Amino acid sequence: MSGGIRLALPYATPPPIPNQREDGMGPPTTIPVDDPLRDPLETPVRPRGSSDIATRERHLGLCRDFVTRHLTHDSILVEVGSADAPFDHLPNLGLRRRVSMDVDIPALGRAERERKMEGGSLIAADGHHMPIREESIDGIVAVFVLEHLRYPRRFLREAWRVLRPGGFLFAVTPNVANPMFLPVLLIPVRLRERLLRMVGGHPEHRYLTYLRANTARRLDALASQTGFEVARVAFLWEDHYILKLPAGEMILGALDRWGSGTDLQGFAGRLYVLLKKGDKAAPDPKGGGPS
- Whether 42 is in a domain gets the answer yes
Number of domains making up the chain = 1
- Whether 290 is in a domain gets the answer no
Q: What is the pLDDT along the chain (291 residues), one digit of tens a residue?
A: 445 656 554 433 334 444 433 322 223 223 233 333 223 333 344 454 578 999 999 999 999 999 999 999 999 999 999 877 889 999 888 888 999 999 988 888 888 888 888 778 899 999 999 999 999 999 999 999 999 999 999 999 999 999 999 999 999 999 999 887 887 788 888 777 776 666 655 556 567 789 999 999 999 999 999 999 999 999 999 877 677 677 878 888 888 888 888 899 999 999 999 999 987 766 665 544 446
Decide if 78 contacts 133 (C-beta within 8 A).
no
Decide if 41 contacts 216 (C-beta within 8 A).
yes
Domain coverage including residue 46:
35-276
Question: What pLDDT score does 24 carry?
Answer: 27
Q: DSSP letter string over 181-199?
A: GHHHHTS-HHHHHHHHHHT
Q: Is 273 helix (H, G, I), strand (E, B) or coil?
A: strand
- Whether 62 is in a domain gets the answer yes
- Whether 195 is in a domain gets the answer yes
- Whether 16 is in a domain gets the answer no
* 277 Cβ contact list (under 8 Å, min separation 6): 160, 163, 164, 165, 166, 167, 168, 169, 227, 228, 229
- Whether 237 is in a domain gets the answer yes
CATH label of the domain that carries residue 255: 3.40.50.150
Question: What pLDDT score does 235 carry?
Answer: 95
- Whether 23 is in a domain gets the answer no
Strands (E), the chain: 5-7, 76-80, 97-102, 121-124, 137-143, 163-174, 228-236, 270-277
Question: What pLDDT score does 152 carry?
Answer: 96
Instruction: Tell me the whole-structure pTM to 2 decimals.
Output: 0.79
- Whether 186 is in a domain gets the answer yes
